Amino acid sequence: MSDPIPSIPYLPIASHGVIGDRRTAALIAADGTLDWFCLPIYDGPPLFGALLDARQGGSWRAGPRQPTLGQQHYVEDCAVLVTRWSGESWELELTDAMAWPWDNRTAEQGGGDGRVVLRRLRALSGVAPAVIDIRPRRDFAAPLDITPTADGATMVIHERTLTFWTSQPATVHPDRNRLAVAVDLREGE
């Protein structure tokens, strides 16, 4: 795993889409970077804040291995954001959404102040060189300690355990502050 995975820093706000759950929101850049997300509410401490500080802010990029701007649009009549990229012989699609919390959920169902960010990266055609790169930060300061699991990783921030799940093998950086997946996705994966 090479370090760092390149990104396109400081894209204009017009190059972003937004997803939300009525209590917080995330900004997704057209290169597939989730570069603004606060927990547990809109004015909570940022977990991903690269929109303001690309080096110390933290980010979660999903998309083509070589960063490039994709085309973004929303699924009709809902807050689901789709970003699409086309290469010479492949097409890649990222779908982003946040699940709306139910006030009557139990803790096991993600109740209370639980947040669910859903990101699906899939190849629409060909073999797409893809990457997922997660670099969470604690309020523009210390990186989070990432613990690998059988199908992803967990991390703890402000007494909350965050879980990342992936269907592809993930690598936790040796200093445990970054999780990366680099894979060639085949059509349908």
Domain spans of the chain, in order of start:
13-186
Q: How far is CA 176 from the centre of its chain?
A: 17
User: For 11-24, b where at least 16 C-beta lie within 10 A, e where not — what string?
Assistant: beeebbbebebeeb
Cis peptide before 40 (omega within 30 of 0): yes
Model pLDDT, residue 103: 62
pLDDT at 9 over 80: no
Statement: the pTM of the whole predicted model exceeds 0.85: yes
Q: Does residue 162 sit in helix, strand or coil?
A: strand
Q: Which residues pair with 83 in a beta bridge?
A: 72, 94
pLDDT digits (tens, 9 = 90+) for 86-130: 999 999 999 999 988 766 545 454 445 567 899 999 999 999 999
Q: What percent of the chain has pLDDT over 90?
A: 50
166: exposed, middle or buried (Cβ count in 10 Å: 0-12, 13-18, 19+): middle
Amino acid of residue 94: L
pLDDT digits (tens, 9 = 90+) for 164-183: 888 888 888 877 788 889 99
CATH number of the domain at 13-186, out of 1.20.1560.10, 3.60.20.10, 2.70.98.50, 2.60.40.10? 2.70.98.50
pLDDT at 55 over 70: yes
Other CB atoms within 10 Å distance of the CB of residue 30: 20
Is 101 or 69 the better-scoring residue by pLDDT?
A: 69
